[in-house]
Amino acid sequence: MRWANWAGDERCAPALFSRPESEDELAEAVVRGGASVRAVGSGHSFSDIACTDGHMVSLDRMNRVLGSDGELVEVQAGITLHELGPALAERGLAMENLGDVDAQSLAGSLATGTHGTGVGLRNLSAQVAALRIVTADGSVVTCAEGDEDLDLFRAARVGLGALGIVSTVTLRCQPLYTLRRIDEQRPLTDVLDNLQELADTRERFEFFTFPYSGLCLTRTTERTSAPPSERKTWFRDVLLENAALGAFCRVGRALPPLVPRIDRLVGRLASGGERTDLAHRIYANQRLVHFTEMEYAVPRAAGAEVVRAVLDLIERRRLPILFPLEVRFVAADDAFLSPAHERDSCYIAVHQYRGMEFESYFRGVEAIMDAHGGRPHWGKRHYQSAATLAPRYPEWDRFAAVRDRLDPERRFSNDYVRRVLGA
């Protein structure tokens, strides 16, 4: 068995691979499992967080909706967001917010603190009302938002796969809604000078900016009572998500000195558009061009300064970066290891095209993030360790105490977990 992530640059060879269909089969797999057991979702993390040479357990067969009670919906944890959206819509329900693709499994998304955008909206894990977790000895523990001792619930919502394997998730949903998404090209300076106001006055606001272009594409996504329409945007459908971007990237990879000119051209072509559809269809974009990524959460007020510093780094070093920076906003939440833990955050993501050198760029970006107390997205590339991360998380020790309780023998560890959480 050989396994690779979506980007194709993190690989491993698990000694054992299981695909249980029920919680009982999952518990048996964990008990059978040998020294290291690692759950895997859709492999959409850019880091080695899911890798193991031990026992890899995929929940892709545990993808059913188990039942619902009003706006509470219980699902098996391996369901993908792509399967979840229509299943909720059939019940007249939707998630409050989602990220920009829907290929991930629900449990995988929760484990890394996956988020969308919106100053008043928290990451996906904040939409969880209860969890069932298969622990190291095969027994099941439960936790829920009303528990007297909330530590397990606050640890397990963003658990990095290090506490056990989540078997079912109860989600707190919302009545199904429609979103209108408007993309507009704007000068970068205007957006950075007015960033707080733009984010504050829109339900969901984000922007993309190509280095060297001085331009950005803002994306505003808000609820509407208008009916869904079929209009599609140039940026989303013709440029970013199809072969055109791939062609630009291939030229830039072959001829790096051309990259600034390519970026300026692509920045100008990203001219905007509008689309209205059911929420889960608006959130989900298709990413056909493969890349690797780093993303950091910094305090909201530092967002514009950090973006300027990253662009300055790229332009000063003439780095051949063919992807835009993506800037989003997420409200504070209380999960112990959420990158937005107790802090309203601005998330800044940087990317590099597959097959191009990224480490010197990402390390340069990380130094900027470090200077602003940045917390890395757990599913994306970073070079932190437990020693550098612990001071950034006020409840680090409480997470560690839950981990000691649930997995004293560290059966759910891998190299990544040992690196970021310690032995």
Using CB under 6 A, list all residues that contact ligand FAD.
6, 38-45, 49-50, 59, 77, 99-101, 104-105, 107-109, 111-112, 114-115, 160-161, 165-166, 287, 377, 379
* Minimum distance, C-beta of residue 155 to ligand FAD, in the bound complex (Å): 12
Whole-angstrom distance, CA of residue 64 vs CA of residue 21? 10
Whole-angstrom distance, CA of residue 174 vs CA of residue 94? 5
* Minimum distance, C-beta of residue 97 to ligand FAD, in the bound complex (Å): 10
Q: Closest CB to ligand FAD among 47 and 212? A: 47
Q: Which two tokens stand for residue 145?
A: 């938002």
* Minimum distance, C-beta of residue 317 to ligand FAD, in the bound complex (Å): 26
Among the listed residues 344, 303, 375, the one whose alpha carbon sits nearest the alpha carbon of residue 120: 344
Bridge partners for 408 per DSSP: none
CB atoms within 10 A of CB 2: 7
* Minimum distance, C-beta of residue 193 to ligand FAD, in the bound complex (Å): 26
What separation in angstroms does the CA of 348 have from each of 186, 195, 325, 355? 18, 13, 7, 22
Whole-angstrom distance, CA of residue 106 vs CA of residue 74? 12
Whole-angstrom distance, CA of residue 361 vs CA of residue 96? 34
* Minimum distance, C-beta of residue 288 to ligand FAD, in the bound complex (Å): 10
Rg (CA), the chain: 21
Q: Which two tokens stand for residue 255?
A: 């001829």
* Minimum distance, C-beta of residue 69 to ligand FAD, in the bound complex (Å): 22
Among the listed residues 377, 349, 372, 204, the one whose alpha carbon sits nearest the alpha carbon of residue 302: 372
* Minimum distance, C-beta of residue 405 to ligand FAD, in the bound complex (Å): 16
Length of the chain: 423
- Cβ pair 33, 57 in contact under 8 A: yes
Whole-angstrom distance, CA of residue 277 vs CA of residue 224? 9
Q: Closest CB to ligand FAD among 45 and 345? A: 45
Q: Closest CB to ligand FAD among 212 and 337? A: 337
* Minimum distance, C-beta of residue 22 to ligand FAD, in the bound complex (Å): 13
Strand, coil or helix: what is 49? Answer: coil
Q: Closest CB to ligand FAD among 162 and 302? A: 162
Q: Which two tokens stand for residue 401?
A: 């105490």
- Report H helices in 202-318: 243-254, 259-269, 279-283, 303-316
